[in-house]
Amino acid sequence: MRKTRKEYTDANRVAWDEAAAKHAAHNNAALFAAARDPDFVCLQGEILNTLQQVGVDAKQIIQLGCNNARETLSLRNLGAARCVGVDASAEFLAHGHELIRIAGAEAQVELVEADIYELPQKFAAEFDLVLVTIGVISWLPDLKAFFEVVRSLLKPGGQLVMQEMHPVLFMYEEDPDGGVSVPRYSYFSGEVWEETSGLDYYANETYESAPNYSFMHRLDEILMAAIASDLQLSRFVELDYDISNFCSDLEHSPVKPPLGFVMVMNAQ
Ligand SMILES: C[S@@+](CC[C@H](N)C(=O)[O-])C[C@H]1O[C@@H](n2cnc3c(N)ncnc32)[C@H](O)[C@@H]1O
Query: ∠ CA 108-119-44 to the nearest 5 degrees?
Result: 50
Looking at the predicted structure, is the pLDDT value of residue 209 above 90? no
* Mutational test site, ligand 1, from 12, 14, 165, 244, max ligand atoms within 8 Å of CB: 12
Amino acid type, 14:
V
Q: How far is the CA of 49 from the centre of ligand 1 (A)?
A: 22
Q: List Cβ neighbours of 1 (8 Å cut-off, separation of 6 or more).
A: none
pLDDT at 31: 97
Alpha helices in 35-164 (DSSP H): 46-54, 70-77, 90-103, 143-153
Query: Residue 174's domain is classified under what CATH number?
Result: 3.40.50.150
Could you read off the pLDDT of 105-130 as tens digits, one per residue?
Answer: 999 999 999 999 999 999 999 999 99
List phi, psi (to 5°) of 163. -120, 120
The count of structural domains within the chain is 1
Looking at the predicted structure, is the pLDDT value of residue 171 above 80? yes
Distance CA 265, CA 160 (A): 5
The reply to whether ligand 1 has any atom less than 6 angstroms from the CB of 136 is yes
* Mutational test site, ligand 1, from 89, 93, 153, 217, max ligand atoms within 8 Å of CB: 89
Distance CA 122, CA 153 (A): 9
Q: How far is the CA of 254 from the centre of ligand 1 (A)?
A: 32
pLDDT at 205: 77
Distance CA 80, CA 223 (A): 27
Amino acid type, 163:
Q
Average pLDDT rounded to a whole number, residues 158-183: 96
The reply to whether ligand 1 has any atom less than 6 angstroms from the CB of 9 is yes
The reply to whether ligand 1 has any atom less than 6 angstroms from the CB of 212 is no
Q: How far is the CA of 66 from the centre of ligand 1 (A)?
A: 6
Q: How far is the CA of 64 from the centre of ligand 1 (A)?
A: 7
Quick one: CA torsion of 59, 62, 63, 67, rounded to 10 degrees?
A: 120
Rounded to two decimals, what is the model's pTM? 0.97
Banded model confidence at residue 70, pLDDT cuts 50, 70, 90: very high
Average pLDDT rounded to a whole number, residues 198-216: 84
Distance CA 93, CA 107 (A): 17
Reported in sequence order, the residue ranges of the chain that DSSP labels E, i.e. its strands, are 60-64, 82-87, 109-113, 127-132, 154-165, 172-173, 182-183, 192-195, 212-215, 231-239, 260-267
Looking at the predicted structure, is the pLDDT value of residue 202 above 80? no
Domain around 243: 5-267
Helices and strands (H, E) in the chain, number of each type: 6, 11
Q: How far is the CA of 255 from the centre of ligand 1 (A)?
A: 30
The reply to whether ligand 1 has any atom less than 6 angstroms from the CB of 89 is yes
